[in-house]
Structure 1
Amino acid sequence: MRPRPTASPQRENGGGRRRRAALSLVAVTTMGLGVLVAAPAAQAAPATIDIVGINDFHGRIEADAPGSRASIAGAAVLSSAVKAVEAENANTLFVSAGDNIGASTFTSFIQDDEPTLDALNAMGLDVSTPGNHEFDKGQLDFNGRVRTNSEFDYVNANIMKADGTNAYRPYEVETIGGVRVAFIGALTESMPTLVSPGGIEGLSFAPIVKSVNDTARQIVEADEADAIVLLLHEGAETGTEAAVSGDNAFGAIARGVSGDVSAIFSGHTHQGYDYLVQPSDGKAPRAVVQTGSYGTNLARVTMSVDPEAATFRDKVTIASSELIPLYDAYDPDPVVEAIVDAAVAVARDRGQEVIGSVGDSFDRAYDSLLDSSGIPVANRAGESTLGNFVADVQLSATTANGAQLALMNPGGLREDLSYVAPDGAVTYEAAAAVQPFANTLVVVDMTGAEIRQALEQQWPTATRSTTLKLGTSAGLTYTYDPTADTGSRIGDVFLEGAAINDAVVYKVTVNSFLATGGDGFTAFANGRAHADSGKVDLQSQLEYFDAQTEPSSPDFASRSVGVSGVAPAPAGGFEAGDTVSMSLSSLVLSQLGSDGPVSVTASLDGVELASAPVDVTVLDAADEQGRAALTVTVPEGITAPTAGPVTRSLRIAVAGTGTEVDLPIVFAAAAAPVVVDPTPTDPTPTDPAPTDPTTPGTPGTGAGAAPGAGNGAGSTPRPAAAGDLAFTGSDTATTGLLAALALMFAGAGVLTATRLRRRRALLVETAD
């Protein structure tokens, strides 16, 4: 590690390494010529000062490859952009509003972001505030390794130690062009929810406005600066002017900070904006900027500073402010490019390290089409083993944050996690290729109604013409009607077998792209609590594989099933011999293909009532693979009390996949109970079955969408309820009589997708 340079409250000539290097070169050259040159006099006031800044760089040192989504310019181009401003105005300072590191792509992540710090050092970053991700590995790591390897200072005014003193220097003064510019740092007050509590033990996070204003007052009263700039790791929820300066949490900061602060470089929310905001104390408007993230833009604030002005606030005039797009806009800086190239080489080598294993491939969904290279075309409209697996992994990574379910966008899955013979080894490179965007995991507070809205937004919206199927974590299951109108497709939504409540708030894990409404999923950007977990998506994969004790295998159960065209009940209800028909879809994931014969069955209390073949033909750009037309004949052999109605569940299942859906049926009261003795399936005489309905193994009974399984080992018994219907028939066709029945389907049905980790071999075995 490099020794950290001694920091002082005030640094001359801007304090930047690039300027110190230039001055040193001049000094050496002058001495070599044997000429003594006096230090130049201070520049005549007023001086024009440029402040250029970034926020939320997150180790994006590599540029995006050309393409429709390309936006990240990379560190070498960022460096050239900074130098271009310096070429226009030597009085330029380069700053950051935090999160320089953390949540990084594999190239930087694999070396603990050392390449990113090296690149920022080479660019000549002058000063930064720490963001929440600087503390991803805890305050000891930040105070030691990170700061030691940073040739720039970190400032913060609102991180406090247990004794009430500042944990870090609250500000730094840079002198350039004869002008003294003070930089105050501040960090979001929500820090305790963003990082591991152990990593910030003993620290507290004071109110931003008071901390900044107290510091600004100290600077002005001590006459330590001619201008004050705030480096703030907190930002507006959106890029609108109302979000920046309106009646909201960030607007209160943007307006409430002392008018002696002439500019605010903000961050954290990854938004892009550039506005002048009037301070609450009535002084001149100040520039409030944020660049978005990842070095896609460079913020530039130009100010005229007159140190001789009568009052402090009169010293500064904001001449202009702008966001400069960077992608492919400048030639790469060769010095920084060499740092990036070296990091890429290390990442390529480290990428071959094995981090875990899989028992079979986790694939995206695919169309029947091939691209121009003969490669199958990924189908983002289809449910997939990979999408569901990633959702499972991300839920596992955020349960400590209170997460109850997770959803994953298909566009974030860029490669399959393929089984590689002979042992299914997974490398760093393979894991990173699945999710290359290094999004952070965000836990969003959502009502049940908002969850339903997000699921509805999988189909085309006003801003998107395609269907995008979200991966869902195990335990979140739902039915949908593919023929229904927009906004009314989602049927029943269940979490761990219980129907979600539209009014209840649930904690939902999504990546940071979805959390801001990416891909048209605006339901996630709902204004409720959005807690950054501090974990990047790749990191969650690595932790998952590190904890595994056996190879991970895909779950082939469909966690969403299409149910449509359900036949309506005739007047007076169904009677024995009547039929109930329905169309089913999304019964088989595309990864299973057409391996072996596939059929879907309908059963009641374990007794099969009907079956039908499943058509596994792929429908391109849809999630309807695995379609069947199923007709169920209402059986005899049920007793019905005079009191009713009572709900029973018809179970729809696809053998060998784990796909199961329970469709609730409501039976009306019979004129009189009819009891038919069951026909024994085992000819060996046995003792009568226990009559206590709470005894394990007793046939399940009762209302609700999840009746007892009946006679199955491991079933969950419960006491019989008044009005329950009991199925007493056997698997023969000659059981008793059906009393008058009335059928009602409550919604589209209840999906209970049991996670059976069976591979293709299991399906073939079942077929055999």
Structure 2
Amino acid sequence: MLVILKVLLYGTHVTETVFMKKTFMRPLTGATIAFTLATVPSLAWAEDTPAVPAADPTDIVELDLYNLTDIHGHIERLEKTDKVTNKVTVREAGLAAVQCYLDGVEKKTPNYTFTLLGDNIGASPYTSGSQKDNPTIAALNELPVVGSTIGNHELDLGQPVFKQRVDGSAPEDFVKVGFPYLGANVKGMGSYMDNGVETPYLKNYAIAERNGVKIAFIGAIAQDVPYKLSPDTTKGLTFEDPIAEIATLAKTLKADGTADIVVAMLDDDVKNNYPKMPAEVDVLMGGDTHVPYEFDHVNSTVKLESENPLLAGVASGSYTDNLGLVRLQYDKTAKKVVTADSILIPAGEIVAGADAGCLASSTAGAVVEKAKKAAEVAGKVEIVSGVTTEWRRGVFLEPGKDVPGPGSNRGVESTLGNLVADAIHSEVTIDGKTPVDFGVVNAGGLRADLVPENGVLTYANTYKALPFSNELGYSPMTGAQFKQALENQWKENLNSQNSRPMLRLGTSSNLTYTYDPSRPMNERITSILLNGEPMDMDKTYNVGSMTFVLQGGDGYFEKGLPVTTFGQLDRDGFNNYLKKVTGPKLTSSMLKRGVGMTLPEAEVASGEFPVALRGLSFTEGAGKAANVTVNIGSATKTVDVNNDLLEPNAESHKSVITTDGAGQANAMFPVTEVCGDKSGKHNFPVTVENEFGQLVKTESGLTVAVDCGGATSDEDKDKSDQGNSDQGNPDQGNPDQGKSDNGKTKPTQPQKVKNLAKTGAEINFAGFALLAMLVGVAGVAFSRREAR
């Protein structure tokens, strides 16, 4: 054993490689050390046991597996200049730089691969999107792509178009894809004849051999694709459990010698799926959420449990903001991976690592430049001028980060969403004249902030914000059906692969609602007002939106509702609205349309009770409330609003996130102040306002049941009179109105409003501080940038 230790400690040559600001100690026989120790029997520690000879260092092969996910047609380099320091930061490297970076890798070592994780196209910026994403496919064809997982956005234009891209049957319309698309768990896509050979549109895996090592890349996608696309888009397709499909294939490929290494390329949240990977999988590559991840058992900042102690996981993020890399060392003698290290190479380092000569002659770069020139003229068309405000999507702040990612939070109401919903309400009509009752928009349909350039909004600006080209339309539905759509904003029960626990549904200004985030699924919506009056659960309303939403996309509305369209695209309707309102009148909404409030469910009779509020502010731009005023009975409380954007659950999004955390406040109400000079039992209405206007009206029917007991004492009355105003609303009607058989309080609603869930939840007053921390928190999306 002493001999072995001497060999291991002194007989090795250590080299040090600095890569991406990380230092990796790479003993040339480091894998030999691991292999030797692993193969020494327990008796080898005895002095009389002969040492096991070390493996030949030439049997250790180092492999670099590069990947990109969620490119979404972002083919150009994007830079940002700091207004104070004038420092230029590269935010997106662009495909020309990626090509040249990989060209430099190839010159150093042939033992590398490059793969794509899906959503290469769709929801694209103007340059690519306005040209049917042909520029993106053409540029990717210039890169050494082994294979790509199919993403849901590959199907944005329908299965026929995707098939034409793959089989090349419509070259005048769509550029043929030069690499295989993978989707092992997608059944029903069919096949085509390729040079006389029947070829599936979606293959299960792709094989790449490097230095005698066979690497299998298994492609799969999350099961929630039907929820992300219009129903007709996925007709005839089934999406099996991706984990089970990957496990079966991985075991077979290794058992029959087809593969030495298995890489699972699953278009879904890599962090969520990392612990689920079977032992036969050596690397997990993920995407969809637009959140960059790298974790392993070497030097990762994130430690996750896994049955496989060598499993590495990576997701590059989105667009070309990072290049993902998993660096493996494989022992050909032992036939196993001995080290696995995941790395993120940021955009700035990609550009810095790209040879200048290569950039000048890059074939991918030539495709990009041609596309830019073709799109430039049409993109400059002015929609409206004189604009003095801007509209942005929701954001959240991840722990450890200083700046939130643009559009990172789809779980919040946004100023852009409200603007689009108002446009839908205005532009969608029943008979060419009669507007729909209200408009709604899904947060995932908004793909870029709307920021004027020198007061001008161009066609390119609005295209980036609404790139999907869905038709506008409307569907008739009852108030109860729409209430369920609001309940369906919370997605924790959608399916096992869901990575966004909440998707906000933006509403036009004439529709407001309240919710209680502490309540169970499907019981959170506590009031809905349409044009200031309670929505009738039995009445039928015409709801305007995009066809994607109305047909069940993102899971708000039930599938099968009748949808009426009139041939207008969402973006064109939006542009018409902007022209009608004109620049100076275009302003950003500051008053929230959906507010969270938790009231005590049980009757209170003494002490004090809390009212927890959230969703009082927008996360971006205008509309950040400084304080909020709550009125209950004779009591009025004005408290500060916490507008912290930190999302504690961003590192553990599997927890139940029930609402956004933007604009939180808590007010405590002593019973004596609420009762004032009243005695007996009362249902006191609750109203809420901030500096931007009234958030919760008496018409919402939200009440707190209070037992004021007998006549109050002079001392109590004196205390309650101090600091109180006449803003409190008097209780109305029968004191027992709104109470269920068990004595708990329901919202007091006019008779025509039916089936709304009762307000509030049981509250342990002594533990209120803890409750305030546990009430649902915003979120979602863990996207630095968004993708559906």
TM-score class, shorter-chain normalisation, is 0.3 to 0.5
TM-score, with length taken from structure 1: 0.47
